[in-house]
Homo-oligomer: A and B are copies of this chain.
Amino acid sequence: MLADDMLGATRENAAPAVDECYRAAFAEIDADPNQFLCVVEDGQQIVGTMQLTFIPGLSRHGAKRGQIEAVRIARDRRGGKLGEAMFAWAIGECRAQGCSLVQLTTDKARRDAHRFYDRLGFEPTHVGYKLKI
């Protein structure tokens, strides 16, 4: 799903033998209690994925943030409200972890995603900067 994406198509390796870099990253995610990599299964098919990161911080009265990254929905399952269900679950999970803010960034090119987040009540108050190092 990461590779079957308008931006991911050029930057991932979807060869059948899973690249070792993905295995190593998975092990790191798995070892960190503040990371939660989720998959949504429908029978034998994985139809959605996202990663939650819980970030403690001092600002906003010591608010903990829930950050959502790497949201992907299988191509043949888009438009069927699966995204809404995933976000309802994710926001509940953030609340259960004591977060008072949920945040995410999305590429300026993902217009459909912007409409989706606007509809869920997210506010596009910030600019997301990235620097490759």
CB within 8 Å of B: which residues of A?
Answer: 2, 8, 11-13, 19, 21-26, 28-29, 32, 34-35, 37, 51, 53, 55-64, 66-67, 69-70, 91, 94-95, 99-108, 114, 117, 120-133
Best-surrounded residue of A61, A63, A64, A66 (most CB of chain B within 10 A):
A61
Best-surrounded residue of A70, A102, A132 (most CB of chain B within 10 A):
A132
A56–B21 CA distance with the chains assembled, in angstroms: 11
A128–B108 CA distance with the chains assembled, in angstroms: 10
- Report B-chain residues with C-beta under 8 Å of the C-beta of A94: 133
Closest residue of chain B to A102, judged by CB?
B131
Inter-chain contact B22/A132, CB cutoff 8 Å: no
